[in-house]
Amino acid sequence: MTIAELAEHVRAAPRKGTRRLVAVGGAPASGKSTLAEALADHLTNDGCPAKVVPMDGFHLHNQILVERDLLNRKGAPQTFDAQGFLHLITRLHDEPEVFFPLFDRDRDIAIAGAGLVDQDCNTVIVEGNYLLQDLPIWRDLRAHWDLALCLEVEEQVLHDRLVARWLKHGLSPKQAEVRAAENDLKNAQLVRQFQLPADIIVAS
């Protein structure tokens, strides 16, 4: 399905509040950020102002993960402030101005108040791994989506993308393989195992 076709589905979706909320869920490296940005750009250029809100801004700080012995599982559901993320989503429907945190991947930290959804925003594209998960707290998100998209990617493709990502961030080939296999692909399996129904499946 093309970006233009997806944008038509977005425009046709009835909304629960002043803004329309669209979820783009899927495994790590499935292409969520790329799709969300392309969709937001298309809608905005077509007269429907849209903004991307990534879930990654709710990563717990590394020191907290160290204290909880979770640093090696960063990106798993328990390494996010799920309650804080859910609270943000409840605000996005109708509040005129909403600030949200963004994740700086190069520095591996979340930056508070780095993003803004303003009163001109018509549609919010939320992207993240666990937007359609049948897990405590996460499952409460499903009721807020006016339209839910899920990206499906073959595991070998995910593996190759993940290894390339970690090589780009300075890991050795062996370290990149271990990081992909022992953390990211485990998280991808969780995404598939506990996935709630999406409105549209997008092959990537």
pLDDT at 105: 87
Among candidates 5, 2, 53, 18, which has minimal Cα distance to 146? 18
pLDDT at 166: 86
The pair phi, psi for residue 150, each rounded to 5°, is -130, 130
pLDDT at 179: 85
Per-residue pLDDT of the chain (204 residues; tens, 9 = 90+): 899 999 999 999 999 999 999 999 999 999 999 999 999 999 999 999 999 999 999 999 999 999 999 999 999 999 999 999 999 999 999 999 999 999 998 898 999 999 999 999 999 999 999 999 999 999 999 999 999 999 999 989 999 999 998 898 888 988 888 888 888 999 999 999 999 999 999 987
pLDDT at 32: 95
pTM, whole model, 2 decimals? Answer: 0.93
pLDDT at 82: 98
In contact, 96 and 24? CB cutoff 8 Å: no
